[in-house]
Amino acid sequence: MHLSDPWTINKVNTVRKKDHLWEKRCLELADIVTFTNQEIITAYSKIYPQFTDKFKLFTNAYKNGEEAIKYRIADSFTIVHTGNLYKPKDPKIFLTAYKAFLESLDKTARKHVNCIFVGHVDEEIKKNTLGFGENLELRSQISFEEALELQKNADLLLNVGVNLPNRTDDLFFQSKLVDYMTARRPILAITGIDSPTYKFVNSGYGKAFSFSDFDGILKFLKAIYNKKDFELAPVDPTYSVANNVENLISWFNVLKNE
């Protein structure tokens, strides 16, 4: 059994009484239960200590050999966000900082700066994108391959997480973060400071900020723009398909011999 996101402890979706019943029943029947990050395993271990031995880490993964060539873009500065944007995944704090960043540039330099949002954007959020003109582009539908190409050619990759009232409820680790890692571009993440995303991005793949850190976001935008470079940590093989396959084989062999 695999849970890519938490089930009954998911604070974004509506959880019904029968969800709790089915969750427990599924966990009882499963021989192995896999999760995408350690934070979810810890949370579920507290709820179901009787099933802790079944819980395994099975990360979102990249194919071996997908690590990108490091592209250089000479005369432009492009920020790319891939994925849907909706409340509570609202990029308002980023847009406020992005506006201030643009205003800090002269008119000529501003013409060569662009931010691309790829995916569905809620109408309420679209209202906040008005007024950016040629400096912000919405692309609703492109292929996965096109999205990866955009990521590889960006100067900065943006990730907007789920803004939850209780920051310890943020257990999400979006699969695109693995794509971002292999694109070998710095990441600007906006997320809860206790989230798996915050820990991952700050481990050498960029900078993560809270949903209220306007100054930090603006400072990072300026730093990446001025240096056009960032010392990235190596691609983590923990997130490779090969590593996941090796783990699966090991777990299945244990079950076979029981």
The verdict on 103 and 173 lying in the same domain is yes
| pLDDT computed for residue 57 by the predictor | 87
The verdict on 213 and 106 lying in the same domain is yes
Per-residue pLDDT averaged across 181-195, rounded?
A: 93
Per-residue pLDDT tens over the stretch 126-142: 999 988 999 999 998 88
| pLDDT computed for residue 157 by the predictor | 97
Measured over the CA atoms of residue 56, residue 162, residue 169 and residue 21, the dihedral's sign is negative
- On whether residue 234 sits in a domain, the answer given is no
Number of domains in the chain: 2
| pLDDT computed for residue 73 by the predictor | 47
- Per the prediction, the chain carries an average pLDDT of 88
- On whether residue 117 sits in a domain, the answer given is yes
Q: Tell me the residue type at 84.
A: N
pLDDT surpasses 80 at 61: no
Which residue range forms the structural domain that includes residue 188? Answer: 77-227
The model carries a pTM of 0.78
Listed range (36-40, 99-103, 135-139, 152-156) with the worst mean pLDDT: 36-40
- On whether residue 232 sits in a domain, the answer given is no
Per-residue pLDDT tens over the stretch 67-80: 555 544 457 899 99
pLDDT surpasses 80 at 164: no
- On whether residue 43 sits in a domain, the answer given is yes
The verdict on 26 and 58 lying in the same domain is yes
| pLDDT computed for residue 167 by the predictor | 56
The verdict on 48 and 94 lying in the same domain is no
Per-residue pLDDT tens over the stretch 231-249: 899 999 988 888 889 988 8
- On whether residue 182 sits in a domain, the answer given is yes
Per-residue pLDDT averaged across 159-181, rounded?
A: 82
- On whether residue 68 sits in a domain, the answer given is no
The verdict on 172 and 220 lying in the same domain is yes
Q: Map residue 115 onto helix, strand or coil.
A: strand
